[in-house]
Every structure is written in C-alpha cells, then in structure tokens.
Structure 1
Amino acid sequence: MSTATAQPLHLSPASGWQPPALDESAVDVLYDDVVAASRDRRRGYSQPALRVVLNTGDVDPQFGPQATQTHLLPEPRAWLQRMAGALLECMTGVRSTNQIARWVSPLVAERVNARSVIAKRRGARPLHRSLVRRVHLCEPDDGVVEASVVVQHDGRVRAMALRMVGVDGRWIVTAMELG
C-alpha cells in the first residue's frame, strides 16, 4: 500500500483589482448578448415607448408622427452638444437612460442602454466629465441633420456620428456610432 503525499499549495499574487480594458470587438459581443437577452425577456410585454416610423402606409397622416422643418426646430449645433454629452454620460452609467428616451429612437436607446449595463457591470466610473470638443454639421434634407462630433471621453479623444430627424417639433437622434 502506497502512501499519498500532499503537494504544497502554490499561491500566485493577484493581477490587480481593476478588470482589464475591453477592446471594441469584445464590447460589441457583449452588446449583442445584452440586446438578444432583452428581446427574449420582452416577448409578451407591451413596450412603454412608441417607435417613431415615418412615411409608412399604416400610420395615419393626420395623427401619426409629423415631420418638422428645420426652421421650426431648436438650433441643431447647441442642441447636439448637450445631447452628445448626455449620451456619453448614459453610456458610462453616470446618467439614467430614461432621461434621454424622449429624444432618441428606440434602437439608439437600446444601444445606449446596453453600453450602460456593461459599464455598470464593470463598475468603472469615468475620472473626468466627458467634453464635447467640436461639432461638424451637414443638412442633407430639410429637417434632417447629420453630425460628426469630436469628444474627449475617458481620457481619449473619440469620434461620434449622429443623425437627427425633426419629428413633432423636436429633434430625435435616429442613428449613433461611437468610434
């Protein structure tokens, strides 16, 4: 009969208390997982906000969402600077995503909410407030503004692309990309 001898336990020091930074592809994978999970949970659930879809046959032209001309809307540059800052605060978990729900399309709200969930899960808070450095506007059509925004966010200078459409007397962000 042989006797078993216990091997000594080797402990390695912890690598650090902060999680490693995620690259963009990992964030996209996490985002896709969160969106898929939220869609599965919402089956059988009535969405509290209405999706804004213009120019479709099933929308009543008198009582449905109405396109608004640019001259009847707030000045886009100043509005966009405030909105870009609010979107960044929402994506880092500093601001509630419910605060911007009225001014973004449901798809943009879903993306911002997913990034907010990831940021809250990581527990990281930005050291400095996000700063909007520069805004470049382009108006491809009346009531439509496309913008590229240069922001300083989490110690990095990044680009943000936004598309806004005038609906019912206010701007609504219908597309957003953060580089």
Structure 2
Amino acid sequence: MGQTAYATPLQIRQASAWQPSALDDDAVDLLYADAAAPRRADHGYVQAAIDLHPVDLHPVPDDTDPLFAPQATPRRQLPEPQEWLRQLSSAILECMSGVRPTNQVARWMTPRLHDRICRLNVIARRRGVTPVRCAVIRRVHICEPDDGIVEASVVVQYEGRIRAMAVRMIGMDGRWMVTALELG
C-alpha cells in the first residue's frame, strides 16, 4: 500500500521591529536611475551629461593655451540679466515638469545642474502628468555682487502654488551660465 505524506505545519513568526532609515534626495535619485536602467536601451537613452566636480565648470588640461580655456565675461558684454533670467527660469521649470526637452537649456547651465534637471525631467515624464498651465514668472530680483556675477530670486507661480527660486549666474564665454539653482 502507498504511504501518506503529511505537510509540516506552517509556523508564523512575528516581524522584527527594525525599520530602515529615510532616504535622502541623492539615494532616491540613484533608485530612480537604477529602475530606469533596463529601459534605457529601449528608448535610446544617452547619458545626460558628464558628472564633473562643481568647482570646475569645464575641465582644462594644464598644457592648454589660456586663450582657448573658458573665459570670464564682464557684465557689459552680457545681455540684460533680468529679462534673460525671466525667460530662462520659465524654460527650466518647463524642463523640470517634463514639457520641454532639457537639451534646450543645456548650454546655459553647468553639467552637474543640467544632470539634475535631466533626472527631474525623466521622473516627470514617467509620471505622465502634464501641467495645466505654464509657469508664470511674477518677479525677478537681481543682485550683482561682482562684475559678471548675478544672484537672483525669482517669484514663480508653478503647479498652482507661489514658489521661490534662487539662481546664481556667472558670465562665461560671452553668455550667462547658471551655476546654482534652488526651487523652494
């Protein structure tokens, strides 16, 4: 005759009280990047920018002729910062919300900042939510601490709220270049 098999009884154990620590912004960005990695080949993804040290805007070898290195530009050779910043702020916010491609603003920001905007653009496009209205720039307050350097605060109506954006720009190679940006 055949033997009868009995399953061992299920044992229920209490879960541990251990909880992981909260993730910071950089860790969350890495998780999003890892999650998107298998899909990059499907969408023709190319690395947004080379990650450089924030102090070095452009790496320049020691044997480079100084005339061919990035040149600081005095204020008198640059466009009016108030109107220029008004248009660029609107374009950056559109990039952050996934409406505009980030390569349209890449020329006017450091590679590290451009990479950050690219990540926000990818997250926004993945969510699939498009804003009902474009951002409205309410006010731009300019401060020029030195020749060719502008620090500004921009008051923005964005995603149904009034928000503040802090921007630092320097004159580089005949154009304004955004080196720091914070959106509150």
Percent of pairs with identical residues: 51
Q: What corresponds to 1:120 in structure 2?
A: 125
Cα displacement (A) at 1:46:
9.1
Secondary structure of 1:62 counterpart: helix
Contact 1:31–1:111 under 8 Å retained in 2: no
Structure 1 stretch 102-111 or stretch 79-88: which is displaced more? 102-111
Q: What corresponds to 2:135 in structure 1?
A: 130
51, 57, 61: which is aligned to 2:66?
Answer: 61
Letter paired with 2:123 = I
Secondary structure of 2:150 counterpart: strand
Contact 1:35–1:110 under 8 Å retained in 2: no
- 2:175 and 2:109 map into 1 onto residues whose CA distance is 10
Letter paired with 1:68 = T
- 2:79 aligned with 1:74: yes
Unaligned runs of 5+ in 1: 1-24
- In the TM superposition, structure 1's runs of 4+ consecutive aligned residues that sit over 4 Å from their partners are 25-29, 34-38, 45-52, 54-57
Cα displacement (A) at 1:94:
0.4
Q: What corresponds to 1:3 in structure 2?
A: none
After superposition, the Cα gap between the structure-2 partners of 1:109 and 1:35, relative to the gap in structure 1 and judged at 3 Å, is farther
After superposition, the Cα gap between the structure-2 partners of 1:35 and 1:64, relative to the gap in structure 1 and judged at 3 Å, is farther
Secondary structure of 1:114 counterpart: helix
Unaligned runs of 5+ in 2: 1-22, 41-45
- 1:90 and 1:172 map into 2 onto residues whose CA distance is 17
- 2:27 and 2:132 map into 1 onto residues whose CA distance is 25
Contact 2:169–2:177 under 8 Å retained in 1: yes
Contact 2:169–2:178 under 8 Å retained in 1: yes
Q: What's the TM-score, normalizing by structure 2?
A: 0.71
Q: What's the TM-score, normalizing by structure 1?
A: 0.73
- Report the number of matched residues: 150
Contact 2:48–2:115 under 8 Å retained in 1: no
Cα displacement (A) at 1:28:
6.0
- Cα root mean square deviation, aligned: 3.0
Q: What corresponds to 1:140 in structure 2?
A: 145
Which has more radius of gyration? 2
- 1:46 and 1:85 map into 2 onto residues whose CA distance is 24
Contact 1:152–1:158 under 8 Å retained in 2: yes
Q: What corresponds to 2:29 in structure 1?
A: 31
